[in-house]
Structure 1
């Protein structure tokens, strides 16, 4: 599915709506070698943010940190505000479904810190996506993608 609008991958290289969460990887603003794995649960808005080494984010002390805010902003660019709001079960009107409105609606409920246990799975999926970028372009099938249906008839 194409992005709702083009986005820059330097700050938030990976964002997905999966497993009942908005989750992704956000680059550190201060250390080029560090990334944060951030997530927000749909419905409860419980959030988690930690480094790729599972150290808690210093900015997520009861409120959304800058990593969470950046993740929401990029998700709105990737999927559109209405889809992100619907997935997270945030009540905003369709014409107001921008990142600011989604963040405001969630923070007005005072979300709690969530469980960081999903960070390893999210980071692993991000690394798997990066591995595809290192492949030499070819038309041969990839073994791990064999389960995708083909469009041509098999004789």
Structure 2
């Protein structure tokens, strides 16, 4: 499988603007790159996806714990979107370091460079990731304030 090209700006660690409509939640947490991806066809469905640090094992399922139909032994488009948005949010150096991507770090310059070192499908419940996402959504209901919310630092 070939992955669509996504190369960061000339600065490898530069964070870029994220597409929060497609991927409203992405984080580096608990030895995973994990996130939530909006469904393109059903407004009530999201996909919960993760890559595990060290192995790059991955999984993707719906918010109802149904496996992603595009998950066929390699990362689906939802996993690719999570990786792309993580690189935009944190920079490729931080993502590759956090995931402990093998090989020469100077040779990891794009999404493809990470995904080509892929792991295997690791079916695990994604409820923890989805719960964390729902917990962050509660901040949208807070009254407007100029006080910082440290927990919202991922929401650039």
Could you tell me the TM-score, scaled by structure 1's length?
0.79
The answer to whether the aligner puts 1:115 opposite 2:127 as a matched pair is no
Q: What is the number of residues matched between the two proteins? A: 136
What 5-or-longer segments of structure 1 have no aligned partner?
Answer: 146-155
Secondary structure of 1:60's counterpart equals: coil
Distance 1:136 1:41, change over 3 A: same
Secondary structure of 1:50's counterpart equals: strand
Distance 1:45 1:137, change over 3 A: same
Query: Counterparts of 1:115 and 1:71 in 2: how far apart (Å)?
Result: 17
Spell out the pairing of 1:1-155 with structure 2 (5 A cutoff). Answer: 4-90=15-101, 91-94=103-106, 96-104=108-116, 106-107=117-118, 111-117=119-125, 119-138=126-145
Aligned-residue RMSD, C-alpha: 2.1
Distance 1:137 1:19, change over 3 A: same
CA shift digits 1:57-105 (9 cap, x unpaired)? 011111100000011000000000011011111135336422122112x
* Greater radius of gyration (CA): 1
